[in-house]
Structure 1
Amino acid sequence: MTDKLSTKEILALKAQAHHLSPVVMIGQHGLTESVIKETDAALNAHELIKVRVLGDDRNERIEMCRALCEAVDAQLVQHIGKLLVLWRKNIEN
């Protein structure tokens, strides 16, 4: 599992993520295998990404977020409305 980030690290990552556009979208079919693969690939390429979650049920979005973070071994940096900011250290760097 990814090491826990400190408050200082989280603030720095939030600042870095501010200008990012979502690179993964979780649509009407929810958290599918292709969404997980796409998220994994995006994290390998960028370490820090935004994910847009469609759907109006906040609890459902939170559950999808938890499941996605677990599936790709990422840490949630920020959750604002339908946007998630995820981070995972790239071990190749």
Structure 2
Amino acid sequence: MLTGKQKRFLRSQAHHLDPIFQVGKGGTNDHLMRHITEAIETRELMKISVLNNCMDDPKEIGREAAEAVGAELVQVIGKTIILYKESKDHKTIELPR
């Protein structure tokens, strides 16, 4: 579980990132979750964009994605989701206490 201070730090780190994945009208599926799992292991921090034609709630998609890949949901702002998962092999982000 992330503290407020850690979430603020991760939000500042994610500010300059571009979304890597987009969730469209098909919503989420196992294929997308598998790709997110692989990508977050190397990046630790990522943005996911929810397109306008997706009828699902971005907050629900964020919770679903975080649970499926074992990551922390840092923030859902508008249609952008920020996820964080500490990497085992490619650790680059040092969280504040």
- Shorter-chain TM-score tier: 0.7 to 0.9
Closer/same/farther in 2, CA of residues 80 and 56 from structure 1, 3 Å limit = farther
- Secondary structure, aligned partner of 1:19: coil
Equivalence for 2:14 = 17
Q: Which runs of 5+ in 2 are unaligned?
A: 92-97
Q: How much has 1:55 moved relative to structure 2?
A: 3.8
Q: How much has 1:61 moved relative to structure 2?
A: 2.1
The TM-score normalised by the length of structure 2 is: 0.83
The answer on 1:61 being equivalent to 2:58 is yes
The answer on 1:77 being equivalent to 2:84 is no
The TM-score normalised by the length of structure 1 is: 0.86
Q: How much has 1:50 moved relative to structure 2?
A: 0.2
How far apart, in 2, do the equivalents of 1:81 and 1:87 lie?
18
1:31–1:64 CA contact under 8 A, matched in 2? yes
1:22–1:49 CA contact under 8 A, matched in 2? yes
1:30-83 Cα distance to aligned partner (Å, 9 max, x none): 001121011111101100000001246786222221111110011111111100
- Secondary structure, aligned partner of 2:17: coil
- Secondary structure, aligned partner of 2:66: helix
Across the aligned residues of Structure 1 and Structure 2, the Cα RMSD in angstroms comes to 1.7
User: Identity of paired residues, percent?
Assistant: 33
